[in-house]
Amino acid sequence: MISRGIGFAALIGLLGVFPLFAGAYPVKLLEEILIWGVFAMSLDLLMGHAGMVSFGHSAFFGVGGYIAAFLLKSAPGALAALTLPALGAGLCALVIGLFSIRVSGVYFIMLTLAFSQMFYAVAFQAAWLGAEDGIVGVPRPRILGVNLAEPMSFHVYLIALCALAALVLWRVVRSPFGHVLRGIHENEARMQAVGYPVNRYKLLAFVIAGVIAGVAGALYSQFVGSITPDAFLWTTSGEVLLMVIIGGTGTLGGAALGAAAFILLQTLVSSYTDRWMLILGLTFITLVLFAPGGIVGALRGRVGLRA
Amino acid sequence: VWSFVPDVFGQALNGLSYGILLFLLSVGLTLIFGMLDIVNLAHGSFYMLGAYAGLSLIAVTGSFWWALLVAPLAVGGVGALVERGCLRPLYRRPPLDQVLLTFGLVYLFEDLVKWMWGGRIRSIPSPDLFSGSVTIFAATVPSYRLFVIAFGLAMAVALFVLIERTRLGAIVRAGVFDAEMTAGMGIDVDRVFTGVFAGGAALAGLSGVIAGPIQSAYPPMGASILIPALIVVVVGGLGSLKGSFAGSLIIGQAETFGKAWLPGASMLIIYVVMALVLLFRPQGLFGRPLK
């Protein structure tokens, strides 16, 4: 426990000082990995712990990103950069959750997918959201008097928030609430019979995951400086699902590793050939067929896939 | 006073032809779902493959009709390979693995098509026989749309007869209802699985060939048609042939009239329809009640 804490702190410190001895491009890559890592970890709370496979997690990422982008243009503060995107994404998760958690398995996958595409449809056609071009020229905020347009301060801000998100998720997973979620994953009928209000637990998990995904989306639009309807696209949900799978479900750290592997692979392949979609597709098919436990599963010799 | 009639009638026919395309696509999706418990995300890719196979076959044979016959068979063959080669080893795994595999296939097929045919939009000519247009109730309708409607309705009838009235259809329905029990009755469900998957893929390919002259061929067409097709399946009820027919017609009309009357929110309408259906009938119009 203590050694884990020290390890986590050391990792954060290392990531924090990374820009001091690396060029601008590796730093950008690292920041992208961190944001997607948070996004993937939030999905892992649902998939790996509650057993709810959502194929519409891009909805909350996109909502967070759009709210941040929209508000930052007029009021570049913490409220616009983080608070309201998180609340907005949580609210959307609550509504979609109310519709979707009544069903499970493949039907749940389909419903979440369809609902996330609804957001795509809205963003794609809403002129006040920039329609298909999205929102561009998003300024970086000023928080606690620090101007985050400066690269190093933005880097520290990003690391701090990603660490915070990881800690929150870790606390949730380790709490009694997290244990109930795993119980529901194992045997929903039994948890119901024991007297747990299963649907309320699932809904809360869905909302927490939505809030964190919203924060990841908000960070993303500040990082890139723009957001387009593609953030909502169902393939975005598919990609983040793959990150979780590549890393290994049910292990928050695995999801972050998976995000790193995905982005590094994508960057590497697309720098060599135009056929990156083909190679990614083949890689995923191979991974699903032959390495179901992901990176963490392979490291553990395919035993004890759960955290 | 009645001047809106031709417009409404023309739109309704457009909606009907689009609904027919969705039906051919969603039949396979809903049966594969019902039988194998798989959301086949690559189903849209079969539609895309159908359109491109049609494009090339028209170029080679010079005839739309050969393309209409051969392209679905080719896509069905691809479907059979996918089921045998990739999905079969995953049946004992959690459903997520299968969904992810089909997601990988979406990338694979889309990039293969870009590689072989290029990324640009390719238009596909209507067959000479239906290249003109006809006037019905003062509405001018491309005759190709009428062909699509007639052909699709004929296919729908043939499918109903096949599924509801034949021994083979009874086996498929039994498989959708309870695959394990069907296997227990001594039926080789493995072959039925492959057959249903290949048949569904062939129908999606057929839908793609027919859609070609209306919507042209472009690589992301598969990923974008998948969503309306999924909504059709949700609205109609999972695993239900009737539901997929009713859902297709509803979604086809909703989207077409949305484009005409609410251009600013046309994409949203089909989701509103889906949400309404889910509110009042969570299992879909013709679905079995949820557990």
| Residues B228-278 pLDDT 10s | 999 999 899 888 889 999 999 999 999 999 888 887 778 888 888 988 888
Q: What are the backbone angles phi and psi of residue A144, rounded to the nearest 5°?
A: 55, 40
Helix (H) / strand (E) containing B133: strand B133-136
Q: How far is CA A142 from CA A80, A153, A246, in A?
A: 10, 10, 36
Residue type, B137: F
Task: Reply yes or no on whether the pLDDT at B200 is more than 90.
Answer: yes
Beta strand extents in A13-116 (DSSP E only): none
- β-strand partners of A142: A147
On chain B, the residues whose CB falls within 8 A of the CB of A118 are 268, 271
| CA A39, A42, A48, A53 torsion-angle sign | negative
The verdict on a CB contact (< 8 Å) between A102 and B282 is yes
Using CA coordinates, name the residue in chain A closest to B268: A121
Give the tens place of pLDDT for each residue, A222-264.
Answer: 999 899 999 998 889 989 988 888 888 888 888 888 899 889 9
Residues in chain A, how many?
Answer: 307
Asked if the model's pLDDT at residue A1 lies above 80, the reply is no
Pick the more confident residue, A207 or B131. Answer: A207
* C-alpha distances in Å from residue A158, one per residue of A141, A204, A224, B151: 12, 26, 13, 57
Which residue in the set A109, A122, A285 is minimally distant from B99, CB to CB? A109
Q: Which DSSP string corresponds to A185-226?
A: HH-HHHHHHHT--HHHHHHHHHHHHHHHHHHHHHHHHHHHSE
- Per-residue CA distances from B186 to A43, B166, B189, B197 (Å): 42, 18, 9, 20
Q: How far is CA A247 from CA A65, A252, A304, B230, in A?
A: 24, 9, 14, 28
Instruction: Decide if A118 and B268 are in contact by the 8 Å CB cutoff.
Output: yes
Higher pLDDT, residue A145 or B202: B202
Which amino acid appears at position A198 of this protein? V
Span B143-194, pLDDT tens digits: 888 999 999 999 999 999 988 888 888 888 888 778 788 888 888 888 888 9
Q: Which residue of B has its CA nearest to A293?
A: B97
Work out the average pLDDT over B22-43.
87
Size of interface A-B (CB pairs under 8 A): 123
pLDDT of residue B199: 93
Chain A residues near any Cβ of chain B (below 8 Å): 47, 53, 55, 99, 102-103, 105-107, 109-111, 113-115, 117-118, 120-122, 124-125, 127, 234-235, 238, 241-242, 245, 275-278, 280-285, 288-289, 292
Of residues A80 and B103, more confidence is placed in: B103
Q: What percent of chain B has pLDDT over 90?
A: 38
Give every CB contact of residue B202 below 8 A, 6+ residues apart in sequence: B28, B72, B73, B75, B76, B79
Task: Please indicate whether, in this complex, the C-beta atoms of B267 and A124 are within 8 angstroms of each other.
Answer: yes
Residues of B in contact with A242 (CB under 8 A): 100, 103
Q: If you average pLDDT over residues A129-158, what whole number do you get?
A: 84
Question: Is the pLDDT reported for residue B5 higher than 90?
Answer: no
Compute the distance between CA of residue A112 and CA of residue A99 in angstroms, rounded to an integer. Answer: 9
How large is the average pLDDT for residues B125-135? 83
First to last CA, chain A: 14
**How close does chain A come to B62, measured CA to CA in Å?**
31
Contact B231 A278 (CB under 8 A): no
Residue A101 has pLDDT above 70, yes or no: yes
Across B49-63, average pLDDT: 92
Q: Give me the pLDDT at residue A305, please.
A: 41
Q: Read off the amino acid at residue B284.
A: G
> Which string of DSSP letters, residue by residue, matches A15-43?
HHHGGGGS-HHHHHHHHHHHHHHHHHHHH
CA dist B128 and B251 (Å) reads 30
Q: What pLDDT, on the 0 to 100 scale, is given for residue A301?
A: 55
What tokens does B32 get? 């594969």
- pLDDT at position A304 is 45
CB A265 within 8 A of CB A283: yes
Question: Do the beta carbons of residue B189 and residue B176 sit within 8 Å?
Answer: no
Interchain proximity B271–A109, CB inside 8 Å? no
Predicted local distance difference test score (pLDDT) of residue A213: 96
Contacts of A280 in chain B (CB under 8 A): 104, 107
- Per the CB < 8 A criterion, the answer to whether A70 and A135 are in contact is yes
Cα–Cα distance, B89 to B180 (Å, whole number)? 17
CA–CA gap between residue A9 and residue A156 (Å, rounded): 14
| DSSP-assigned beta bridge partners for residue B122 | B217
Closest CA to B239 of B204, B283, B207: B283
Q: Which residues of chain B have a CB within 8 Å of the CB of A109?
A: 39, 95-96, 99
Residue B131 DSSP one-character state: -
Give the per-residue pLDDT at B81. Answer: 94
Q: What count of other Cβ atoms lies within 10 Å of the Cβ of residue A10?
A: 10
Asked if this assembly's ipTM is beyond 0.90, the reply is: no
Q: How much is the pLDDT for A307?
A: 38
Q: What's the gap between Cα A191 and its chain centre?
A: 28
B271/A284 Cβ within 8 A: no
Q: What is the structure's pLDDT at A211?
A: 96
Q: Say yes or no for a CB contact (<8 Å) between A99 and B278.
A: yes
Q: Mean pLDDT score of chain B, rounded to an integer?
A: 88
User: CB–CB of B54/B207 below 8 Å?
Assistant: no
Tokens encoding A102 = 């009544």
Instruction: Tell me the pLDDT band of A35, cut-offs 50, 70 and 90.
Output: very high
CB contacts, 8 Å: A281 with chain B: 104-109, 111
Opening angle at CA A97, ends A135 and A60, nearest 5: 20
pLDDT of B16 reads: 92
Q: Do A124 and B39 touch (CB under 8 A)?
A: no
Q: Give the integer Cα–Cα distance in Å for A23 and B168.
A: 65
Identify which has the larger pLDDT, B284 or A295.
B284
Beta strands (DSSP E) in chain A are 135-136, 142-143, 146-147, 226-227
For A281, which of B89, B108, B266 is closest by C-beta distance? Answer: B108
User: What pLDDT does residue B37 have?
Assistant: 78
Question: Exposed, middle or buried: residue A12 (CB in 10 Å: 0-12, 13-18, 19+)?
Answer: middle
Sorted by sequence, the CB contacts under 8 Å of residue B81 that are 6+ apart come out as none
Closest by CA to B40, choosing from B103, B86, B107, B111, is: B103
Residues of A in contact with B279 (CB under 8 A): 99
Give the nearest partner residue to B96 out of A53, A122, A289, using CB atoms: A53
- Lowest-pLDDT choice from A64-73, B2-11, B18-27, B224-233: B2-11
| Residue where the block lists tokens 């436990």 | A293
